Structure 1
Amino acid sequence: MKSIAFFNNKGGVGKTTLVYHLAWMYSSRGLSVLVMDLDPQANLSAMFLEDQRLAELWEDGENGTVVDSLRPLIARTGDIAPPHVEMIGKKIGLVPGNLALSRFEGLLSENWSKCLDGEEAAFRVITAFHRIMRQAAAGIHADVILIDVGPNLGAINRSALIAAEQVVLPLAPDLFSLQGLRNLGPTLLDWRRGWRKRLAEMPSQAGIDAPTGEMQPLGYVVMQHGVRESRPVKAYGRWLDRIPGVYREAVLDTPEAKAPAIEEDPHCLSMLKHYRSLMPMAMDARKPMFSLKPADGAIGAHVEAVRACHDDFLALAERIAARSGFAVS
């Protein structure tokens, strides 16, 4: 079982859409998938669930979302509660997000430094996401865990990324994504080093299931680039050309005098096209773009677009699986 986070501190790059579609793609290939919505905006949960069901989970107050599992820690009355997993079909399990998750930020910040003093309670707070994730994954016999986080470098994301074995970086071909990449790379390195330093102080008698904090970069995905005659339009091309070099310098810390073109870069997992009208259609049908049917409005030119979307996401899913070490049939 592999845990993979999808992260960029620049918002609007299609991160949540990517996680949603990969979850459906892996499940369609027979894998059991756990999806963790650790973004306080809970957009991923809203993509999977009808508003009425999401309202029920938020209003339950006992065992509906990730916040309910954290509630004993937030109230300082105990450890994590068993997580609720909302099944989406037979093969996707969702640990729903909640806007109230932002209340956990302060507690995470406070206990990060306390781990250096070997405080057991602090380690229980910092490892909460990891332990919730593992319990939920065991309950559905998950083959892979996909983690969605918000676009920031705060304490919630630090704890979520520590729980991830690997990280995929969604990008848009623009200045802001490149700048986000420059911030993100050193931050991941700092978090990795900081967590390993704290792990050395964890009391052995505590018996806490703690993550190793690997956060191994798997590569990047360029989302929604414009295409004209099978080539990126000029406005995007100037930024695409810079991504391989910035990724090596900022994320891998292995700058090269001349980085390869993005089409030849082994770290580029995919360049996903903008599927134009498919996404609104998919949102109305509450299904992934590559599963749209004529009854959903996918007729005419849309039929070929749906087929191309399926092929693109399948290729990406297989590439991520190959690098993570799990099989896709």
Structure 2
Amino acid sequence: QWPDSLDGKERAFRVISAFGRLITDATSRFTADLALVDVGPNLGAINRAALVAADHVVVPLAPDLFSLQGLRNLGPTLRDWRGQWQERVPKNPDPELRLPPGGMRPVGYVLQQHGVRPGRAVGAYQRWMRRIPDVYRHDVLGEDGPAPALDDDPNCLAQIKHYHSLIPMAQDARKPVFALKPADGAFGGHQTAVQASRKDFAELARAIGIAIGRPLERAPG
């Protein structure tokens, strides 16, 4: 559908903009201020349509080689898609068809799933973590110059540690990790980790709200 939209074919625009219309309708129906779209780690047509519907992009990262390579691919691709969509929008043959603006503005990254030992990521992870700010700055934002260290990087919205057994427990209960209860199997030391995860995700939500210019009126949870 992407090439057909460049030729001004209405069906192509309807297919590509389907996620945007779905999100707009859902937020109106449920009086939601924000919609979160979770996409898989690939740059295929479905993810492109989902990202065209997004105003902002938050990138989840693991401290490893694959995430760094993914960043190097993601940045140029986002810029290409944004420019190509702006080129296509004027070719829409149906003025009543709502098209998303295709902002796709990167607002930061979330570093997740790193092991922690006495309050700090273990050395094997730190080696990869130190490289992320430069790669994000250069390849995703397209900016020159050295990036600050990870702990001082304003593009790092949060660092979420690996919660180990809470993850399969949450999947089994079909709940987020911070909503697990003793009835779900989260008792004893697990409840301490659940409370810590609630704090981590509340801070992440606040950081995202600030990054997109929509500060939260109250802390989540």
TM-score when normalising by structure 2: 0.93
User: 1:48 — aligned with what?
Assistant: none
The match for 1:197 is 87
* 1: CA distance, partners of 2:152 / 2:180: 31
Does 2:141 correspond to 1:270? no
The code of the aligned residue for 1:305 comes to: A
- Whole-angstrom CA distance in 1 between matches of 2:193 and 2:106: 30
Structure 1 distance, partners of 2:5, 2:114, is: 43
Shift in Å, 1:128:
1.4
2:117 paired residue number: 228
Preserved contact between residue 318 and residue 328 of structure 1 (Cα < 8 Å) = no
Question: Out of 281, 290, 311, which is 2:169 matched to?
Answer: 281
Alignment counterpart, residue 53 of structure 2, candidates 141, 145, 163: 163
Taking only aligned residues, the RMSD between alpha carbons, in angstroms, comes to 1.4
Q: Equivalent residues in 2 for 1:1-329 (5 A)?
A: 111-203=1-93, 205-256=94-145, 258-326=146-214, 327-329=216-218
Q: Measured at CA, do residues 286 and 116 of structure 1 come closer, stay the same or move farther in structure 2, by a change above 3 Å? A: closer
Is contact 1:130-1:210 (8 Å) kept?
A: yes
Instruction: Tell me how far apart the structure 2 counterparts of residues 201 and 294 of structure 1 sit (CA, whole Å).
Output: 56
Question: Unaligned regions of 5+ residues in structure 1, if any?
Answer: 1-110
> What is the rounded CA distance, in whole Å, between the counterparts of 1:126 and 1:281 in structure 2?
36
Q: Classify the secondary structure of the residue corresponding to 2:36.
A: strand
Q: SS of the residue aligned with 1:244?
A: helix
Superposition deviation, residue 179 in structure 1: 0.3
In structure 2, distance between residues paired with 1:207 and 1:324: 28
Q: Please give the per-residue CA displacement for 1:137-179, whole angstroms capped at 9, x wherever unaligned.
A: 2111112101122221111111110000001100000011000
Question: Secondary structure of 2:110's match?
Answer: strand
- Give aligned pairs, total: 217
CA-CA distance at 1:309 after TM superposition: 0.6
Which amino acid in the other structure matches residue 234 of structure 1? G
Contact 1:120–1:206 at 8 Å: present in 2 too? no
Change in CA separation of 1:282 and 1:214 when aligned onto 2, cut-off 3 Å: same
AA aligned to 1:306 is V
Deviation digits for residues 243-293 of structure 1 (CA, Å, limit 9, x no counterpart): 00000011000022x321111100001110111221222223332211222
Q: Deviations over 1:213-256 (max 9, x none)?
A: 10011100011111111111111111000000000011000022
1:77-102 deviation digits (Å, cap 9, x = unpaired): xxxxxxxxxxxxxxxxxxxxxxxxxx
Percent of aligned positions with the same letter in both sequences?
57
Distance of 1:120 and 1:297 partners within structure 2 = 52
294 and 117 in structure 1: CA distance in 2 versus 1, 3 angstrom threshold: closer
**In the aligned structure 2, how far is the partner of 1:173 from the partner of 1:194?**
31
Deviations 1:29-84 (CA, angstroms, capped at 9, x unpaired): xxxxxxxxxxxxxxxxxxxxxxxxxxxxxxxxxxxxxxxxxxxxxxxxxxxxxxxx
- Provide the C-alpha distance between the structure 2 equivalents of 1:220 and 1:249, rounded to a whole number of angstroms: 14
Consecutive unaligned residues of structure 2, counting only runs of 5 or more, are none
1:112 alignment partner AA: W
Q: Which has the higher contact order (CA 8 A, sep 6+)?
A: 1
Cα displacement (A) at 1:300 = 2.3
CA distance in structure 2 between the partners assigned to 1:206 and 1:143 by the alignment: 26
For residues 168-210 of structure 1, give each alpha carbon's deviation from its aligned partner in whole angstroms, at most 9, with x where no partner exists. 100000011000100010000000000001112223x531100
TM-score, structure 1 as length reference: 0.63
